[in-house]
Each structure stands twice: as C-alpha cells, then as structure tokens.
C-alpha cells in the first residue's frame, strides 16, 4: 500500500519497510546509539557515513523537562496571532515566525512550509562586544510575562536550552572521537555557539507533493548537528537513491542529524542528508529541533584526520583510507548561515539583516 510504513526493531536499529515487507527503494535502518556506551564513537562513525541520521538514547535529559517544553510550546502557539506577532525580531532571527514564511525547496514548493515557529538563540546582551562584532548575536525576545503572558516560559526554555548545549557538546565529542581526533577538537569553535532552539507547530493539513504543499520542504541543515524531539510522525529522509523513508518518534530518544558544515569539515565523508516533513494525516504536529552551530567566526575546513596538512598523516588515516585533498575552500560558518537564512526566510530577507548578508558574502 503506497505511503504506508511499518517500523521494526533489528537489533539496536529501526528498519523502515513498506507494509508488504518490501523496501521503500532500499532497506534503510536508523541506528539507536547509546551515547554512554564504549562503542558509541564507532557506531556514530558508521551512522554518519551511511545515513547522516541516528537516534540517541541514555542522553541524560530528564523526560519531565522534555514534556514541559512540549507543554509550553503548545501554550505559545495557542496565543492569538496578534500576540505572537508582538514577539518577533527578524533582524536577529529570534521569536515568532509566521505560517508559510519559510520556503526550503522552491523547486517543489508552491507555498511556504505549513508551519509556524519560534526561535530562541544564545542569550547575549545587546551592548556586548559579541553583539557589536557579529550579526545574529543579541538578546532573545520573549512573551510579556509581566502582563501575564505565559508566566515562567522563559525559565522553562532556558533550562531546556542549557540541557541541549550540554548534550550537543557531548555529541560533538563523540563526533571528534569518531573522526580519529582529540575528544575536545571542536570545543574552541563552540565558546559562543550560534545555537538555536526552534519550536515548531505544523498545521493539520495533509501534504500534497504534486501541488507543492508540504509541511516542510526538502532541505539539509546548515551547521554541525541538529538534535530533534517530535510528538508525531511526518519526518522523512532521502536515501542515497532518491527515495524517502520515515523517521518516526521513538520513546526515550532524540533524533540526531548532521549539517552541511560537518559535511565540509569531513570532506563529505559524513553525510548532511536532505529531509522534509510530509503530513499524511490532518493532525497538528509539534517538533522541537535544536541546531548546534559553531561560533560565527569559525573557519570550516577539512579536518586533519582526512586531509592532513603536513602531507604525511598522523597514523589515524586508516579510518578513512588514503589522505584526501580538500573538496571545498575554507569558509566562515556565520557567513554561510546568513546566506542560507536569506535564501529561505522571507521575513529575514526583508529585514535589515539582508544588507549584512551582502557585506559578509
């Protein structure tokens, strides 16, 4: 039956197959990795090379904290539209984003994504040197709690944000180990991360791909990695042969996927995989991704365990075969991110930040 799937356990993996038992183009398994296990780095390496997506368990984030964020997210989006539109900052890309404001796959989409969102970034004072030196750093914008709008909302989000920073750091350490690099290799690039917590609500509208109406258009993420929790199916991932498979919620786990910067850092040895949201039922869907992005001024270039700069290697090149020549010139993470926001977000493109994009690129 076209469009229907079942998920089955295969050891420590989820395999997503057609209900007839046939693959949706290829049998695809998404591993579930215990991030505290001794074998975690090896399992991460395999997942990063094969799919660019994996589940993580034993992650240390309390389920009550996660449930609370979902509860507050529902309350936020239940506010009247005029109230939500008071909580917007398109220049810093913070706060509320309107329904259909984002178009991620213009070759397919006839309308913007059928979702609304809310951005929360690293809290930085407007008069700090960081805010003065680089775009996208600054204070968040919050519901007016003094007027009785969502009391305690900021505190709940701050708690979850800090949990995600800690988890993102742990995963970045596993990524470094998986690449044959020192565990803290990425640490200097995340002293002031452009990390973003995004709260999303998808409309209860069945997607019609032929008409260009999607929950979220196909795209790859931009930074190092994304940590996702969701309450309802809808996420689909593109396979290497161009088919799409579902990644459904699994209790007690987060979904992790890699971003474009990590693909560049690894000379495409690790995959930044395109994904989309296809709503098969007219139900409201909540999704909460956390984008763990490096500092604005981070120089992204092929790591030495894949592209040795001394021409001789360091004894760990066996993980990825012979030494490689970089495919990409070095790039600055912040400028790359700005260019992507300009391409996909209508409100951001209309804001004063658009002039910064042109200056940075």
Q: What is the DSSP secondary-structure string of 101-160?
A: -B-S-TTT-SS--SEEEEEEE-B--TTSHHHHHSTT-B------GGGTSSTTHHHHHHHH
User: What was the pLDDT predicted at 23?
Assistant: 30
User: What was the pLDDT predicted at 25?
Assistant: 33
Report the pLDDT averaged over residues 207-235.
Answer: 93
Report the pLDDT averaged over residues 327-347.
Answer: 78
pLDDT at 343 over 80: no
pLDDT at 22 over 80: no
Report the pLDDT averaged over residues 303-314.
Answer: 76
Which are the contacts of 144, defined by CB distance < 8 A and separation ≥ 6?
86
Answer positive or negative: Cα dihedral of 127, 130, 136, 142. negative
Report the pLDDT averaged over residues 198-223.
Answer: 93
Report the pLDDT averaged over residues 206-221.
Answer: 92
CA distances from 271 to 14, 55, 139, 235 (A): 19, 15, 33, 17
Report the pLDDT averaged over residues 175-197.
Answer: 96
- DSSP H helices, the chain, are 40-50, 63-77, 81-84, 129-133, 153-178, 260-265, 333-344, 346-350, 353-360
Contact 159/258 with Cβ under 8 angstroms? Answer: no
Global confidence as pTM = 0.87
> Rounded to whole angstroms, how far apart are CA atoms 144 and 194?
24
Name beta bridge partners: 219.
Answer: 275
* Range name among 5-14, 184-193, 220-229, 233-242 with the lowest pLDDT average: 5-14
What is the overall mean pLDDT for the chain? 86
How sure is the predictor about 103, in pLDDT bands with cuts at 50, 70 and 90? confident
> Rounded to whole angstroms, how far apart are CA atoms 186 and 184?
6
Report the pLDDT averaged over residues 123-146.
Answer: 93
- Please give the residue that has the higher pLDDT: either 33 or 318: 33
How sure is the predictor about 31, in pLDDT bands with cuts at 50, 70 and 90? very high
């Amino acid at each position: 039956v076209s469009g229907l799937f079942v998920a089955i356990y295969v050891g420590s993996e989820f395999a997503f197959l057609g209900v007839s038992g046939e693959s949706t183009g290829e049998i695809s398994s998404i591993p579930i990795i215990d991030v505290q296990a001794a074998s975690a780095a090896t399992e991460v390496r395999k997942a990063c090379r094969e799919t660019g997506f994996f589940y993580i368990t034993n992650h240390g984030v309390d389920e009550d904290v996660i449930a609370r964020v979902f509860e507050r997210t529902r309350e936020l989006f239940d506010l009247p539209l005029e109230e939500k539109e008071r909580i917007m900052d398109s220049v810093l890309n913070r706060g509320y984003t309107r329904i259909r404001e984002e178009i991620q796959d213009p070759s397919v989409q006839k309308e913007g994504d059928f979702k609304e969102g809310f951005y929360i970034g690293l809290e930085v004072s407007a008069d700090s040197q960081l805010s003065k030196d680089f775009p996208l750093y600054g204070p968040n914008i919050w519901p007016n709690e003094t007027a009785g709008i969502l009391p305690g909302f900021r505190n709940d989000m701050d708690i979850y944000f800090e949990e995600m920073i800690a988890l993102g750091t742990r995963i970045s350490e596993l990524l470094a180990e998986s690449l044959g690099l020192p565990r803290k290799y990425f640490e200097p690039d995340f002293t002031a991360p452009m990390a973003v917590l995004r709260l999303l609500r998808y409309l209860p509208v069945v997607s019609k791909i032929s008409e260009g109406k999607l929950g979220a258009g196909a795209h790859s993420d931009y930074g190092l990695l994304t940590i996702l929790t969701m309450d309802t199916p809808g996420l689909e991932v593109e396979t290497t042969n161009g088919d799409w498979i579902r990644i459904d919620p699994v209790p007690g786990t987060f979904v992790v996927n890699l971003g474009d910067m990590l693909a560049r850092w690894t000379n495409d040895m690790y995959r930044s995989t395109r994904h989309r949201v296809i709503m098969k039922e007219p139900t409201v869907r909540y999704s909460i991704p956390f984008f763990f992005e490096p500092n604005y001024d981070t120089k992204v270039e092929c790591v030495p365990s894949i592209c040795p700069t001394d021409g001789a290697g360091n004894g760990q090149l066996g993980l990825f075969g012979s030494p490689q020549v970089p495919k990409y010139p070095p790039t600055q993470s912040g400028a790359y991110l700005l260019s992507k926001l300009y391409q996909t977000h209508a409100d951001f493109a209309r804001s004063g930040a658009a002039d910064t994009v042109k200056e940075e690129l």
